[in-house]
Chain A
Amino acid sequence: MLNSKIPAGSLDKKWEDYKGHCKLVNPANKRNMEVIIVGTGLAGASAAASLGELGYKVKAFCFQDSPRRAHSIAAQGGINAAKNYQNDGDSVFRLFYDTVKGGDYRAREANVHRLAEVSGNIIDQCVAQGVPFAREYGGLLSNRSFGGTQVQRTFYAAGQTGQQLLLGAYSALERQVALGNVTMYSRHEMLEVVTIDGKARGIIARDLITGKLERHFGHAVLLCTGGYGNVFYLSTNAMGSNVTAAWKATRKGAYFGNPCYTQIHPTCIPVSGDHQSKLTLMSESLRNDGRIWVPKKQNDNRKPSDIPEEERDYYLERRYPAFGNLVPRDVASRAAKERCDAGYGVGSSRQAVYLDYAAAIERYGKIEANKRNLHNASSADITKLGKEVVAEKYGNLFDMYAKITGENPYEVPMRIYPAVHYTMGGLWVDYELMTSITGLYALGEANFSDHGANRLGASALMQGLADGYFVIPYTLGNYLADDIRTKAIPTDHPAFVEAEKHVQDTINKMMSIKGTKSVDHFHKKLGKIMWDKCGMARNEKGLKEAIVEIQQLREEFWKDVRIPGDANEYNPELEKAGRVADFLELGELMCVDALNRRESCGGHFREESQTEDGEAQRDDANFAYVAAWEYKGPSQFELHKEPLEFVECKPTQRSYK
């Protein structure tokens, strides 16, 4: 049964004790142990580099043309760490507490505490690698604040923190490639986990250029393959982000944890038409200075500049006077949806709200005029000065907005709407990051463990690197120490033969359908079902409908999808088809999980479970558990519960009023 293997002892001693007592593999034996790592984002690249340094024989796989392109690269805002460089009261405990509370009391305390403990080491490591974090004039590191906290603990590199951290990990990875400790397989996609005697012993991967299937042995397999937000078709994920590796593991017996926990980010550029292929995030930092509003009148067609102040509804400030525009992501997203659904949305689609910088420009302009001793400055001068200040703080974001929309956000309020951004759910793992398949691990966004039902800003980068640099080097050794007598298993072993045949059969089946509709056709349809019925708000009726609709769509897919070209060549449509086939199964499980969880918590909002004023209502008596789902066959999932105990953080109702 589910054993989370949380070490005994007080919360702040668990990880220390674990490190002191876990088993080790001596250097001579490490040289004979092979580790397969799938995915080269922050978690995968940092794990590959660290394990290569330790002397393991590592094989790393990514579907992109280079490991540097993994979607961690697109993270904007920053990375949290309990350094307390600002002397503003931060500590390991406070970071731990904020994360558990921010996750609406649905995360595992022991994992989160370990995350907070190693957070400081991450910053040290990245700086040592030459990651150019923002600095103060004295040469010290700079920090900024982020949502859901009262301290400044976020380290950043302009709006490109993910890029800089990933390039640091990628450089470390390439160094190990040069040293021969890591073999890199770019443009390779993992399509099956191979298990022998109940242990993960390798993978089947497809060379995306030649289409050839390859068998790779490993004493252990690490999945660092990110989240599954693209099940919604439109999301802020990269086009290639997918659930395939995690889903193949699920079908092989790994449990999937809390699949319904999805983060919808409030500030994204809205959909502009049916052609839309993806959505673009505008950093949460914009809510520091921008004011969010809609017209007080329904279906108001006036230009924003023609709507006078008294006819604007600053609904976040109205509903949440204590936090105003800086409420957490889940709250801000639901509030925007509520206004748009009620007919107050703006823009041609009416699915948008304004994010307005006019007040900030004026406020900064006045401060700047005072600084420069300009008394009686004209309002034009104040506006000009204010725009300069805003450009310095948010220039790259404003430029991006202008490129995409063709509008000038310094003059016209930006239009924004929530979009799928991150998935807190993922493969169920124990304290050692091992899934329910022995020897199969999941790191980073691919696992479920640290963010509960809602992730705080700047915590995803922290978790990916914590898992890869500082957790897996210990926990993997603890497993492999008992495996040193296992020789490399030849890949003509029947388990490899059978796994490859299974993959080949699936590809053949898909290619032979020769239907009439493109892969995107099905993906878009699935996305619409998920967004309408398993998106920002969910209810029993909708979820039950969605399950049936997804089953029908899946059937239609397997009868009518059209994949041009051949299987034995570079064929992006075939790659997409495989991923969408897996999304069509995962989507159903997400709805099953959402249906089962008859409470609202974090990003999961069940309309039946809300307070009188429309806030999320948790049900700790009945749902303080991790829902770990076991795949039992098509449309058959068995629920296993891991009860959550809160020793240090006692659950309370979150309030931002």
Chain B
Amino acid sequence: MEHYNMNLTLKVWRQKNTDAQGHFETYPVSGISSEMSFLEMFDVLNERLINEGKEPIAFDHDCREGICGACSMHINGRAHGPWAGTTTCQLHMRAFKDGDTVTVEPWRAGSFPVVKDLTVDRGAFDRIIAAGGYVSVNTGNAQDANNILVAKDKADAAFAAAACIGCGACVAACKNSSAMLFVSAKVSQLALLPQGHPEKKTRALNMIAQMDSEGFGSCTNTGACEAECPKEISLTNIARLNREYIVAGFSYEK
């Protein structure tokens, strides 16, 4: 792969804190190597801002290998930028060419308030998991692992759903700011496994109730979430969630 250097114009959302008014600022950056990751390009810019006595741009990031789910930039109108199935930290500058203008925003959703610049608060996701995204088993209660048989296709499907990294790209991509793909991934994982069966009805009902109370929007099946998900979580999980929810709604006795 040929390496090249490029000059870019960045338009970056700056916002001092949750309550402050935000705005775009324009930063020309030069000599960016095509081998850099997108976040390393931000490192270079931040280093320059610090040297100029200005405040660097705040953004969430941690593992930088596409698995922790911290990074969360909306790049040229797409969650995590132009590459499919890729987090912001794994996006590399090869995706851009000399002279490009790149617009970078935080996730836009009422339930994800901006903390500062490109950093948002995704605490709502933790609260949704706390509402039922688990199997109620205390430490020490488990039987031998191989006493529970799980068909390989079910186990594989559960794993595919469990691969969700909780980054929130699905919400950011959705015109309704719906969290259905996120919720459905956890509900599906546990609905597909025998361990999750005893609580499947309450789980679907409670997680959806929490999702609603957090202010996430409704799902209208446009599929933007699946298209932008860096872990390519399938839309079929939403279908499964709907089924679980409807069944639970009709048959749950309390």
Contacts and interface: CB of A to CB of B under 8 A. Distances in A.
A46 B105 CA distance: 35
Contacts of B149: 138-140
Interface string A166-201: 010011101101100000101000000000000000
A239 B131 CA distance: 30
B5 to A, nearest CB: 11
A209 interface: yes
B121 to A, nearest CB: 7
Nearest to A164: B162
Interface residues of B, number: 79
A132 B62 contact: no
Nearest to B157: A132
A164 B58 CA distance: 29
B139 A130 contact: no
B35 A273 contact: yes
A369 to B, nearest CB: 25
A518 B51 contact: yes
B33 A564 contact: no
A127 B145 contact: yes
Contacts, number: 218
B139 A406 contact: no
B65 A68 contact: no
B215 interface: no
Interface string A202-226: 0000000100000000000000000
A66 B166 contact: yes
A127 B62 CA distance: 28
A157 B159 CA distance: 8
A562 B67 contact: no
Nearest to A162: B67
B64 A175 contact: no
A9 B161 CA distance: 47
Contact of B115 (A171, A236, A277, A570): A570
Given A137-B152, A139-B152, A470-B139, A209 B159 contact: no
Contact of B58 (A238, A278, A570): A570
A122 to B, nearest CB: 9
Nearest to B60: A65
B162 A239 contact: no
Contacts of A170: 129
Given A186-B123, A280-B65, A125 B56 contact: no
A49 interface: yes
Contacts of B135: 128-130, 171
A83 interface: yes
Interface centre among B1, B62, B70, B142 (most CB of A within 10 A): B62
B146 interface: yes
Contacts of B155: 132-135, 139
Contact of A128 (B54, B62, B137): B137
Nearest to B137: A128
Contacts of A491: none
A553 interface: no
Interface stretch (A145-153, A397-405, A413-421): A397-405
B58 to A, nearest CB: 6
Contacts of A239: 61-64
16 contacts: A50-B138, A66-B166, A69-B68, A73-B68, A130-B193, A130-B195, A139-B151, A160-B67, A170-B129, A175-B134, A239-B61, A275-B36, A403-B92, A405-B1, A407-B1, A518-B50
Given A403-B92, A573-B50, 16 more contacts: A64-B68, A125-B137, A125-B140, A132-B189, A134-B155, A139-B151, A139-B152, A139-B155, A167-B162, A177-B126, A275-B36, A406-B92, A520-B47, A564-B50, A570-B119, A573-B56
Interface of B: 1, 16-17, 33-37, 39-40, 43-44, 47, 49-51, 53-56, 58, 60-70, 83, 86, 90, 92, 94, 115-116, 119, 121-123, 125-126, 129-131, 133-146, 148-152, 155, 158-159, 162-163, 165-166, 189-190, 193, 195-196
Q: Which A-B residue pairs are the 4 nearest by beta carbons?
A: A139-B149, A406-B1, A171-B134, A128-B142
